[in-house]
């Protein structure tokens, strides 16, 4: 019980900061190494969306977990609510410190956000599916991008861009691939969190192949075009873990974009 209480206190401290504490946390950050993120980190500290550790450090290079992402996003965009009044659909978040955040944001499309889906046989030829969110799993950049897009409906284009234009943009990055698949391959389980985009070509028409591939492709196209997430020297680094400094910067960019559009 004591260890659990300490863990909860530590988690709470990461997402709250008094002005004095925020200043000491900023002093901990190497301005030469993380100068690009200082304004965003300061903004997130002031908004009390993210805080420092109990020892007064920020640890900008620490990776962000799915639970931490959920907590930060909900604090920054409190009006986003996808069935917070319902019980969680995820087996592994019901007693987690971020249970409310996960339920609020991710209860509407469990197949998109779940890390694992388990089929359970029940008596009398009945069955159920158990969904696992994996709240403490560290997020990759491609996963962070997809979740941002899926949660932020204001980013969704009124008129979907031409599929070929989206594919051409994806292919400008050296470490992201768009592959053509056969229609018979649609039963293949394509991983949503990989840096590969699956395209179907049928009678000269291009479509996105596989479950959620349209969401994935439009997420990449929209967020990189808007400069909310970007790469360098032609590389996006899709499988790199998102650090706390990066998360603060990306969420700050999204907040500014939504403020302008709103």
Instruction: Quickly tell me which residue has 């209480």 as its tokens.
Output: 5
Q: What are all long-range contacts of 115-121, with beta carbons under 8 Å and residues at least 24 apart? A: none
Give the chain's domain count.
3
User: Tens digits of per-residue pLDDT, 93-149?
Assistant: 989 999 999 999 999 989 899 998 898 888 888 888 899 999 999 999 999 999 999
245-256 average pLDDT score:
97
Q: Are residues 155 and 232 in the same domain?
A: yes
Q: What is the pTM of this model?
A: 0.85
CB of 70 closer than 8 Å to CB of 105: yes
Q: Are residues 175 and 224 in the same domain?
A: yes
In-domain check, residue 167: yes
Q: Are residues 69 and 52 in the same domain?
A: no
Q: Are residues 196 and 233 in the same domain?
A: yes
CB of 166 closer than 8 Å to CB of 211: no
Per DSSP, helices labelled H in the chain are: 2-13, 19-27, 31-34, 38-46, 66-76, 99-106, 110-113, 141-151, 163-170, 213-225, 244-261
73-81 average pLDDT score:
95
Q: Are residues 81 and 41 in the same domain?
A: no
In-domain check, residue 254: no
Q: Are residues 53 and 120 in the same domain?
A: no
Per-residue confidence (pLDDT) for residue 218, from 0 to 100: 93
| Whole-number CA gyration radius for the chain | 20
Residue that finishes a domain, picked among 10, 44, 64:
64
Which two structure tokens, joined as six digits, stand for 26? 């900023």
Residue that finishes a domain, picked among 64, 93, 113:
64
Assign residue 31 a region (left: φ > 0; alpha: ψ between -120 and 50; beta: otherwise): alpha
Q: For residue 60, which of 26, 85, 86, 90 has the smallest C-alpha distance?
A: 26
221-243 average pLDDT score:
95
**19 Cα distance to chain centroid:** 28
In-domain check, residue 207: yes
Q: Are residues 26 and 37 in the same domain?
A: yes
On the 0-12 / 13-18 / 19+ scale of CB atoms within 10 A, 214 is middle
End-to-end CA distance of the chain: 45
In-domain check, residue 245: no
Q: Are residues 228 and 158 in the same domain?
A: yes
Q: Are residues 154 and 235 in the same domain?
A: yes
Structural domain for 39, as ranges = 1-64
């Amino acid at each position: 019980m004591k260890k659990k209480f300490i863990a909860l206190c530590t988690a709470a401290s990461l997402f709250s900061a008094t002005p004095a504490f925020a200043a000491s946390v900023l002093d901990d950050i190497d301005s030469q190494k993380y100068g690009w993120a200082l304004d965003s980190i300061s903004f997130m500290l002031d908004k009390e969306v993210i805080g420092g550790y109990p020892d007064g450090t920020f640890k900008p290079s620490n990776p962000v977990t799915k639970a931490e992402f959920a907590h930060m996003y909900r604090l920054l965009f409190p009006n986003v609510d996808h069935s917070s009044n319902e019980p969680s659909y995820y087996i592994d978040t019901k007693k987690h410190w971020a249970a409310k955040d996960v339920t609020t944001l991710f209860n509407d499309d469990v197949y998109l956000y779940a890390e694992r889906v388990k089929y359970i046989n029940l008596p009398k030829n009945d069955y159920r599916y158990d969904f696992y969110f994996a709240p403490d799993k560290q997020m990759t950049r491609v996963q962070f991008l997809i979740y941002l897009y899926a949660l932020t409906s204001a980013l969704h284009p009124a008129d979907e861009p031409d599929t070929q234009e989206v594919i051409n943009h994806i292919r400008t990055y050296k470490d992201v691939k768009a592959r053509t698949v056969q229609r018979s391959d649609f039963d293949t389980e394509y991983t949503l969190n990989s840096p590969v985009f699956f395209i179907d070509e049928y009678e000269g028409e291009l479509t996105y192949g596989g479950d959620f591939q349209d969401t994935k492709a439009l997420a990449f196209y929209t967020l990189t075009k808007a400069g909310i997430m970007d790469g360098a020297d032609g590389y996006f680094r899709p499988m790199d873990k998102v650090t706390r400094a990066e998360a603060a910067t990306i969420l700050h960019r999204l907040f500014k974009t939504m403020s302008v559009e709103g």
